Amino acid sequence: MFWYSDLMKTPMERVLQLAKNQTVIRPKDLDRLGIPRNYLGRLTRAGKLEKVGRGLYSSPDSAATENRTLLEVCKKIPRAVVCLSSALRFHELTTENPFEVWIALKRGTWTPRTGYPPIRVVRYSGQSFDFGIAEYPVEGGKIRAYTPAKTVADCFKFKSKVGTELAVQALRESFRQKKATMDELWTAAKVCRVANVMRPYMESLS
């Protein structure tokens, strides 16, 4: 929402304010403000914005963070959901920092080309894709990621990709940090069809 004082600003000032508030902006963000898209190019050439990806712009003053990288990916691929190793890192359930951004896409959808940041696509189908998606406000934008409980269950489902040790560690951390209840973990385990696999590890926590 823009106040009267914002309307008194020049188009360039309003674009720069938007970049400061949202961290990462797209051309269509300017459409909503009624500002021509060519202002993005003009501000980039002036060094007041920098192009951080195809159709993505940010203020040079914005510090590069892990969450900013996730925001860039979510802006580029709105239908994607941050999952597995990247979701674990986002929820602080692991200290490992994956080189690629792990995203879930529904089976049968087109695989996008992003260039940078590098992504790793994992295909989900049916309820296993739709269940546990949440939106998290981060640095003026929103990240779509699976909840901690769903992320843990996914790690057991895709343990061949992330490793059993990481899946077990994530389960223990989610319980220790109280980021997921036993009921939430059990529900996610059933959706991901790994209830029998997770049961002994969950019993060891109770």
pLDDT by 10s per residue, the chain, length 206: 444 345 557 888 888 887 777 777 778 888 888 888 888 888 888 878 877 766 777 777 665 566 788 888 888 888 999 999 999 999 999 988 888 999 999 988 887 776 677 899 999 998 999 999 999 988 767 899 999 999 999 999 999 999 999 999 999 999 999 999 999 999 999 999 999 999 999 999 87
> pTM of the full predicted structure?
0.72
**3-state SS, one letter per residue, for the chain:** CCCHHHHCCCHHHHHHHHHHHHCEECHHHHHHHCCCCHHHHHHHHCCCCEEEECCEEECCCCCCCHHHHHHHHHHHCCCCEECHHHHHHHCCCCCCCCCCEEEEEECCCCCCCCCCCCEEEEEECCHHHHCCEEEEEECCEEEEEECHHHHHHHHHHCHHHHCHHHHHHHHHHHHHCCCCCHHHHHHHHHHCCCHHHHHHHHHCCC
